[in-house]
Amino acid sequence: MTMKFKFALPLMCSVLSLALPSAYGKWIWSRETGWMESPSAAITTLEQRYKYALSLLVEQKYTIAIKEFELIIRDAADSQYAEASQINIGRAYFLNHDFKRALRAYEKVLEKYPGTKRTEEVFEREYQVGVAQMETDEDAAIDVFEKIIEKHPLGPVAPDAQIKIADCYFKLSQYEESLDAYEKFLENYPKSEWVPYVQYQIPLTKVYHEKQQERNYGLLISAREGFEEYLVSNPQGIHTEDAKKMIQEIRIIEAEREYNIGEFYLRQKKPVSAAMYFEYVKADFPDTIWAERANERIEFLRMIEAIK
């Protein structure tokens, strides 16, 4: 009997320890509270309830955490923890990749607590939802960014939201809409730190738009001029080398176009007009292969005495 009792006691202790909730007795970290010990079973105060809900959020138990935050809002709607709980409901949905419910939760913060000191934080969190949606649903992301600008046009994330709208359209190959969005950014936020980025993106978007239309030379020339303006405004910019390469590529296309016009006049038996275009290619695009070919044509025309 004595031996059995000695073995039964530790076994009973082990069973009891397994029965305790896993969150209890742990130290966890939260941005709001720093390192803290998970609440014990005796949760008596509102602060303890809130910290317990936070601990569930940190431990990625999102569904349970949301329920705990909702109970706090229900039982203590006028407390300082109610608003924070509503924001954390949005965080829980966001971390669980349920972006639609996350947005609804954040919108509820603005509806229930108009003029809250945490308005900018809420819009920042909504912006992060939009950024996350850009990976799979650009249209939904655009809707998020547009609502942020509509409700808080002078807020700190409004310029970023406007850029993301343009980036979304660019990603969707809707270049005309992308151009409009980038230009609207320059119009509304001319002092933003993102201006150099947009100054580069505008001509780049024109290049891609031109490719859709198959040789819209007006767009190409406008794009080249845009890259040149970027280099003047941002001589040490991070896109400097890319801008130079794009300018060179566009110049080659322009040179080819002018050379082909010269060839067209040759076929029309108008050597003088043809020579005029070949000379233009030589003078304005000397660093391209088309300048070499234009020079060969001019020498040929002189050889057969078609021009002086």
Give the pair of three-digit tokens for residue 145: 């960014």
Average pLDDT of the chain, as a whole number: 89
CA angle, corner 99, sides to 123 and 59, nearest 5? 95
> What does DSSP assign to residue 214?
S
Short-list 70, 65, 46, CA closest to 55: 65
What is the distance between the alpha carbons of residues 26 and 24, in angstroms, rounded to a whole number? Answer: 6
Strand partners, 35: 29
CA angle 176, 179, 181 (to 5 degrees): 110
SS (H, E, C) 46-93: HHHHHHHHHHHHHCCCHHHHHHHHHHHHHHCCCCHHHHHHHHHHHHHH
H or E segment and range at residue 34: strand 34-37
Question: According to the model, what pLDDT value does residue 212 have?
Answer: 86
| Tokens coding 98 | 């349920």
Name the β-bridge partners of 36: 28
Nearest partner of 199 among 221, 174, 232, judged by Cα: 232
Over residues 12-68, the pLDDT tens digits come to 344 333 333 444 445 555 565 555 555 545 677 999 999 999 999 999 999 999 999
DSSP letters spanning 197-209: HHHHHHHHHHHHH
Q: What is the rounded distance in angstroms from the CA atom of residue 244 to the CA atom of residue 25? A: 61
Burial class (CB in 10 A: 0-12, 13-18, 19+), 19: exposed
- 3-state DSSP percent of the chain in helix, strand and coil, to 5: 75, 5, 25
Distances 218 to 206, 215, 243, 290 between C-alpha atoms, Å: 10, 9, 18, 20
Pick left, alpha or beta for residue 137 (phi over 0 → left; psi -120 to 50 → alpha; otherwise beta): beta
Q: How far apart are CA 237 and CA 61, in angstroms?
A: 45
| Residue 192, token pair as written in the block | 């933003």
Please write the tens of the pLDDT for every residue from 214-226: 778 899 999 999 9
Q: What local confidence, expressed as pLDDT, does residue 8 receive?
A: 42
Q: If phi over 0 gives left and psi between -120 and 50 gives alpha, with beta otherwise, what is residue 60? A: left
- pLDDT for residue 22: 41
* Beta strand segments in 161-293, E: none
pLDDT average per 10 residues of sequence, the chain (308 residues): 42 37 49 54 83 95 97 94 97 97 97 93 98 96 97 95 98 97 97 96 96 84 96 96 96 95 95 96 95 96 91
Structure tokens that stand for 143 in this block: 């809707």
Say if residues 113 and 78 touch (Cβ distance below 8 Å).
no
